[in-house]
Amino acid sequence: MKKIEHHSLSDRAYQALKDSLQEGVFLPMQPLVIRTLANEYGISATPIREALQRLVAERLLIVLPNRSIVVPRMTRRLFLDIMPIRVSLEGLAARLAAPNFSGKDIEKLEKLVERVANSTKTYDAQTYLLHNREFHFAIYKKAGNPELLQLIDDLWLKVGPVFTGLFDDTYFREHANDEHQNILRAIKAGDAEAAERFMRQDIDIAAKALLPLMPDDGIE
């Protein structure tokens, strides 16, 4: 029984760290210190260590020569490679999801859009990123395609650590919720094509805000 509980705790630590990567809690090149994380999560160091090792094996974290475990640096080239894939996959997920929403599902989206709006008014980037992720994945899960969902999840793990830079862009702060509202209206209307279009626009607007922050790696 203890062994099962131990592995379960390691799995929960792994998922919590993945959530934090997607929500921009950890920044590029930020060291992840086992003892600090264990204290923050209120668990022992062992499950944290095992979770970090899994993330390193999946290349979501890297080990530096000094043995520090850090979030990889997002390069301009990698960012430009990832964005069109995200636009295509997440737009597709929105289109597939649009016909599948119940009244209760739509109420959940409405609440998330309202929470996103409140976070933009107070310039609370961390809260914005939390609810933004909840909004997007509430839609993607309704697509009913686990393989598509896994691909999107993997891409968010790569780009999540740079999302905190979104609020450095004044235009983005003022319009961060516009496409969410458009997506919500499209879903309410059962308009799958509009849901896809607005989702693609939402990702594109964020990409334009983030691209100037990417370190130059030779891309003109």
pLDDT one-digit tens code per residue, 187-217: 999 999 999 999 999 999 999 999 988 877 6
Q: Residue 53 has what pLDDT? A: 96
Structure tokens at 134: 């909840």
How is residue 68 annotated by DSSP? -
Decide if pLDDT at 26 tops 60.
yes
Residue 3 has pLDDT above 60, yes or no: no
Summarised one tens digit per residue, pLDDT across range 32-80 is 999 999 999 999 999 999 999 999 999 999 999 999 999 999 999 999 9
Q: CATH homologous superfamily for 76-213?
A: GntR ligand-binding domain-like (1.20.120.530)
Q: Nearest-CA neighbor of 196 among 100, 90, 106?
A: 90
Residue extent(s) of CATH 1.20.120.530 domains in the chain: 76-213
153: phi then psi, degrees, rounded to nearest 5: -60, -45
Per-residue pLDDT of 136-170, as tens digits, reads 999 999 999 999 999 999 999 999 999 988 888 88
More confident residue, 8 or 19: 19
User: Does the pLDDT of residue 135 top 70, yes or no?
Assistant: yes
Q: Give 2-70's CATH code, choosing from 1.10.10.10, 3.90.1150.10, 3.40.50.2300, 3.30.390.50.
A: 1.10.10.10
Residues of the chain with CATH 1.10.10.10: 2-70
Q: Give the closest residue to 216 by CA, choosing from 85, 70, 74.
A: 74
Q: Which of 111, 113, 106 is nearest to 202 (CA)?
A: 113
